[in-house]
Structure 1
Amino acid sequence: MANTVNPIVRGSKDSSGILAPLKFTRRRATGDKDVQFEVMFCGVSHSDLHLIKNDWGFANYPMIMGLVTEVGPGVSKFKPGDKVAVGVMVGSCGNCDYCSFSLENFFPEKLGTLTYGGDPDLIIVEEDFVIRWPENFPMGRRAPLVCAGITTYSPLMDLMLRIFIFVCCFLILVLVPLI
């Protein structure tokens, strides 16, 4: 395992949107279940435009794609050289009620350190939050799919679950008594 690393970071310091070097503290060492990867592409969403204009605060471009450079000893899903992507979530406690119901984004406590999203040249993410990118699917202009794709996929899956529950309730409450 490597020791802590000093990533190169460029970002917008003000609402001008001009990129400049940012001071960045050392990134933690790759842990047991961590995946470190070189940031090759990052997407910009509409939310990031508000952040650049300082409407909401710091812009960190959470739609990141790259190549795995190092994995922790407990990582089983990835190896160096794999194409990967990550969204805004890079880790969680894994032990609370929110995590047990896959609702990590509602966790009320702050965990970990500031990642600066896709601005640094590398990032370290917990294995469970890394997405394998298909080898035959180019990365380049696909980074926004990590945000927009998930943003649309999640409600669609929720809707499908609701339809399934409705159909089951209908079958049980209406059709079963007729049998």
Structure 2
Amino acid sequence: MAKSPETEHPVKAFGWAARDTSGSFSPFKFSRRATGENDVQFKVLYCGVCHSDLHFIKNEWGFTQYPIVPGHEIVGIVTEVGSKVEKFKAGDKVGVGCLVGSCRSCDQCSNDLESYCAKQVLTYSMPYFDGSITYGGYSNLMVADEHFVIRWP
């Protein structure tokens, strides 16, 4: 029997979602995956607005999955880290950009060019490796692999 999304994604989150190409936002409750052993969970403090967010919201590139919680210029404070995380601790100021996943084994990934990886996972509106859809920073919290998180001074 398959696990329910709630079992696989137990972290309650709140964001602002576009539900169609109109560009209107409405409150959206959803679940994020639990903090895994290599993940950093953080409270979102700020999120920039990029024109690519508008392209996604209006499905101008043809692959938006609604509802969409955009935002890929995200800054926050770490609230939890996984057991194998070495670079971050609770209270650290962090940021996440446009990627939250890649294969980490292809030539591009081996040369720190994850944005060219055929299996890259964008911060929002993309299937994650576990089958869930990613949601961005127009939300109250994020969970991301530490490889895609940067520290702010």
Same fold? TM cut 0.5: yes
TM-score normalised over the length of structure 2: 0.74
Runs (4+) of structure 1 exceeding 6 A deviation are none
Residue 21 of structure 1: aligned partner: 27
User: Separation in 2 of the partners of 1:129 and 1:119?
Assistant: 18
Task: Give the greater-gyration-radius structure (CA).
Answer: 1
Q: Contact 1:48–1:59 (CA<8 Å) still a contact in 2? A: no
Larger helix fraction of residues: 1
What's the RMSD between the two structures over aligned residues? 2.1
The CA deviation at 1:59 is 6.4
Q: CA deviation at 1:44?
A: 0.7
> In the superposition, relative to structure 1, how do residues 64 and 94 fare at CA in structure 2: closer, same or farther (>3 Å)?
same
Count of matched residue positions in the alignment of Structure 1 and Structure 2: 131
- Relative to its length, the structure with more strand (as a share) is 2
Matches within 5 A, 1:64-83: 64-83=74-93
Q: Does 1:118 align with 2:128?
A: no
| Long gaps (5+) in structure 1 | 135-179
Residue 86 of structure 2 aligns with an amino acid whose one-letter code is S
Length-normalised TM-score, structure 1: 0.64
Which residue number corresponds to residue 31 of structure 1?
A: 36
Equivalent residue, structure 2, for 1:51: 56
Query: Whose relative contact order is higher, 1 or 2, with alpha carbons under 8 Å and at least 6 apart?
Result: 2
Match of 2:125 in 1: none
Superposition deviation, residue 63 in structure 1: 0.6
CA distance in 1, matches of 2:39, 2:148: 10
Q: CA deviation at 1:120?
A: 2.5
* 8 Å Cα contact 1:62/1:118 also seen in 2: yes
Displacement of 1:53 in angstroms is: 3.6
